[in-house]
Amino acid sequence: MKTTYREALREAIRDAMRRDDRVFLMGEDVGSYGGCYAVSLGLLEEFGPERVRDTPLSESAFVGAGIGAALNGMRPIVEIMTVNFSLLALDQILNNAATLLHMSGGQFAVPVVIRMTTGAGRQLAAQHSHSLEGWYAHIPGLRVLAPATLEDARGMVWPALCDPDPVLIFEHNGLYNLAGELADDAGPVDITRAAVRRPGRDVTLITYGGSLTKTLAAADDLAAGGIEAEVVDLRTLRPLDSDTVLECVRKTHRAVVVDEGWRSGGLSAEIAARIGEEALYDLDAPVRRVCSAEVPIPYARHLEEAALPQTASIAAAAREVVRGG
């Protein structure tokens, strides 16, 4: 069937709510408005106000309420409008959701799912264009997911709700209008493994989320010049599936990491370090990284595009790695 990324997410939430009466959705404008990105459109009419709950504009309060509900046997899906607003709930996420299972000696799991929009590219300026999923991937006790395809948008929510740990799902704002075919029987997917989205022999391109489409386009560009790039979609940022990444790098002997987050102290640095630690002698060239410029994301369209990883910059980095090898 023909669908979009936002519709796949909506169907995932609907499916979870039909599967389990304990599942409910809460967040700012998720009810009658249908969600800031129209993901929850129609769910209030189908499930009612007890299971689709509009919240006050207080991220710390409603994320805390979601954690409390999870501790008491419910399966909440908490929607935070954008990742920058999650900073207002950082204490709840880091000090409560991520730690309570450990601090209780395994007695109290926190099976809450927190969804939020991430990324730049829509001229929302410096305060609403963050890519902070790498921050959250730093925190033990969390599972961090980044669905980049229609299949993953449709299939990650239910497995996330079944996880006893808190799960954060980062939805790139540039993907909501992504359209394509989705199998009628599409359902839950594996949230533990990375996926090879394109096989190749010359260089491994490692990415996730909103950068996947650009990276696949770069691989097409490279193929026109005789370079066959393998594309790995991380999908799960914590815990990282190092085995798949290393297997691909050992095959191609070269790696480029594409990350919309900032370069310094970012997720790309962690991936490059793991490759260096585990596969140094399999490399024919140093690992390259393509990241956002070390600046607050600009508002002006041409400056925003210049600050972000783009298909051309990804392809150029891959060519340099292959030629340097």
In the numeric block, the tokens 């798949």 are attached to 244
Per-residue tokens: 122: 């829509």
Distances (CA, A) of 159 to 167, 187, 205: 10, 10, 27
Nearest 5 degrees, angle CA 208-CA 83-CA 165?
75
Phi and psi for 144 in degrees, rounded to 5?
Answer: -120, 120
Cβ neighbours of residue 91 closer than 8 Å, sequence gap 6 or more: 60
User: Given the DSSP bridges, would you call strands 52-54 and 203-207 parallel, antiparallel or unpaired?
Assistant: unpaired
- How many beta carbons lie within 10 A of that of residue 21, not counting itself? 11
Determine which helix (DSSP H) or strand (DSSP E) holds 251, and give its type and residue range: helix 242-252
Contact between residue 196 and residue 248 where contact means Cβ atoms under 8 Å apart: yes
Burial class (CB in 10 A: 0-12, 13-18, 19+), 97: buried
Q: Which residue reads 């419910």 in tokens?
A: 74
Q: Say whether 59 is catalytic.
A: yes
Concerning whether 171 is annotated as a catalytic residue, the answer is no
Candidates 7, 28, 79, 128; catalytic one: 128
Task: Note the helical H segments in 36-179.
Answer: 43-47, 59-71, 83-86, 90-91, 100-103, 133-136, 150-155, 157-162
Cβ 84 vs Cβ 36: under 8 Å:
no
Q: Does residue 76 have a cis bond before it (omega within 30 degrees)?
A: no
Choosing from 59, 230, 270, 304, the catalytic residue is 59
Contacts of 312 (CB under 8 A, 6+ apart): 218, 221
Catalytic site positions: 59, 128
